[in-house]
Each structure stands twice: as C-alpha cells, then as structure tokens.
Amino acid sequence: MNQTAAGITTATTIELRGLEKSFGPIRAVRGVDLTISPGEVVALLGPNGAGKSTTLDMLLGLAEPDRGTVAIAGRPPDEAIRSGAVGAMLQTGGLLRDLTVRELLTMLASLYPVPVDVDELMELTGVADFARQRTEKLSGGQTQRVRFAMALVSDPDLLVLDEPTVAMDVKTRQAFWTSMRTIGRSARTVVFATHYLEEADLYADRIVLLAQGRVVADGPTTEVKAMVGTRTIEATLPGADPERLARVPGVAACQVRGEVVTLTCTDSDTALRTLLAAHPAMHDVVVRGAGLEEAFLELTADHHAPEEEA
C-alpha cells in the first residue's frame, strides 16, 4: 500500500514494472514502466498497434505478461478485481443476450461484494430510459452506455476504458465524455486508451504516449500535447539566438542548424506574429502541421533501436 503525503492509505496506486508481451513474432509491449497515483486521469495515447490494449489487458489480468509485474494497490489484478476495486470497459464485446438492460446490470451487480444501487446507476449513466429493453435490441450508442454502466457497477476506485469511443459518432462521443466527466471521474483513478489526441487533451490530466510497445512520452497533458499537437515553423534567420527564440510565446522548442531555425510551436499563429515583427531578417518562412502520426514517428525514431524488428 502506498502512503500519500497526507499519510492516508490509498487504494488505487497502479504500478506497472518492466511489462513485456509478445504474440508470436510480434512484440506488442516492449518494456512499459508506469506508476499511476490515486485520482489521476491518465490517457494511454498512441496509434493502432502501439501496445495500448495489450498494456491494459495486462493491467486487468486478461493477458499474462511475458516479463514484468502489475500491481493495483499492491495486489495482483485478479485480487483487486475480486474486491470490486476495478471496473473495465473493454474495447470489444457485445452484451449478454436474452436479458433486459436492468436484468443484465442486476446480474453483474450480484457478483460484487458491495455493488451500487442499480436504479441509481441507470439514472446516472442515462440507460434508465431503455432499462426494460432487451440488450440485443439496443442501438450502438445505447450499447456503449450500458457497457459504461457495467464498468461502474461495483463503484470501482479504478476505471479502465479501452478505446471507449472507438465505435461512436462525434455526437455520441461528446455525450460519452460529458457523462464520463460527471460520474466516471468522482474520486476515481481513470486509465483510458485512445488514439485521439483531442480526447486525451480534453479529458486526461496526464498523457502516456505509447509507440511500438514503449512509452515515448509521459507527462502532464499540456506538456505532452506540446510535443505532439504541434506545428513547425521553419525559416532562415542569420545569427539566430536559440534561447531567445524559444521564449517567444507559442514556441515550445527551438533548433538552429546554421541559418535554418526550426521552431516547434503550440501556437504557431501567435509565434509567427511575434517572430516576423521582432526579426525583420527572417525569410523563407514555412509553417507545417505536425500530425499525431508524424509526431509519433519522430518520437519513436529517438527511442527505437534500429536492430529490432518492427
């Protein structure tokens, strides 16, 4: 058990140590170390195949790590799950058929030592309107809401969501995150996987960027966003002072190679206005949008030893 600064014993510290997992020749996770503190909302951000789902599967005990350990509040995942401390919304999976929504949630609730009140849960998650519907007759959006309710049925301290919005349209996605904000959040640790930077940005306190089975960036959302959600300004500027350029509003980082400066910007518009006004000698200005994929590639290139197979 971890002790917080206040000395309160916390229930949901997550420790992932040296996790590795291969499926045949594919090395899905190549050494992930993560410590997540109680109450943190963490986004596992990465492109498809980055190892997000495999990492979450190991966190939940659904996959056995080849190497490394998982501890939820100092316990192995299955023990934490048995106590009702963990709720999960898995990426794939239909609902059990031949039951109404209410019956399904009641059935699941009965498995837990201290379940929530099912009627209350249905109100909160917005499934009360179709509580008497059979699960096989729900729309896609309704199904997702029921799956979200299922994850909350034990009133878990840790909520794990594996790409919860992957099958949703834009409107449903927004509605999901709104309800997530109001109910999912309260005093819980939340870990969710996504490949949308906007989702991570909007909802998480902390982003863990995964690429090719490794953590390539880990930090507060604003920091990681600055690394990946950027535009690049390239220009020619004789006698550039990198330190001064890096302090320009909207600029996150600065590189100078000869007369060519490359500025990584969180706000390229603001930066550009300042730069052009302050440096009349600046010319051949190019602004490029660095997509998430591109940012991933760049970040991975630094971390990725060339001798390893893809």
Partner 1 sequence: MIPVTYARYELVRAVRNGRFFIFSLVFPLVLFLLVAGPNKHEELAGVPFPVYYMTGMVAWGTMGAILTTGGRIAVERSLGWHRQLRVTPLTAREYLVGKVAIGYAMALGSIALLYAAGIGMGVRLPAGRWIEMTAMILIGLVPFAVLGVYLGHVLNAESIAPALGGITALFALLGGAWSPVATDGFLLHLTQLLPSYWLVRAGQIAFDGGAWPAKAWIVIGVWTFVGARLAARAWRRDTQRA
Residues contributing to the site for partner 1 (CB under 8 A):
23, 28, 53-54, 57, 60-64, 81-84, 86-88, 90, 92-99, 103-104, 106-113, 150, 154
Are the beta carbons of 240 and 256 closer than 8 angstroms? yes
Alpha carbon distances (Å) from 145 to 32, 141, 168: 31, 6, 11
116 vs 275, beta carbon nearer partner 1: 116
Query: How many CB atoms within 10 Å of residue 68?
Result: 16
Cβ 1 to partner 1 shortest distance, Å: 21
94 vs 220, beta carbon nearer partner 1: 94
Alpha carbons 185 and 205: distance in angstroms, whole number: 11
Cβ 206 to partner 1 shortest distance, Å: 23
Alpha carbons 157 and 105: distance in angstroms, whole number: 18
150 vs 228, beta carbon nearer partner 1: 150
| Chain position carrying tokens 């600055």 | 226
Cα Rg of the chain, angstroms? 23
Cβ 72 to partner 1 shortest distance, Å: 12
Selection from 62, 57, 54, 138 nearest residue 96 by Cα: 138
56 vs 282, beta carbon nearer partner 1: 56
Q: Which two tokens stand for residue 20?
A: 């590795």
104 vs 233, beta carbon nearer partner 1: 104
Cβ 30 to partner 1 shortest distance, Å: 15
Cβ 167 to partner 1 shortest distance, Å: 13
96 vs 202, beta carbon nearer partner 1: 96
Cβ 278 to partner 1 shortest distance, Å: 53
Alpha carbons 182 and 164: distance in angstroms, whole number: 16
| Chain position carrying tokens 């917005």 | 126
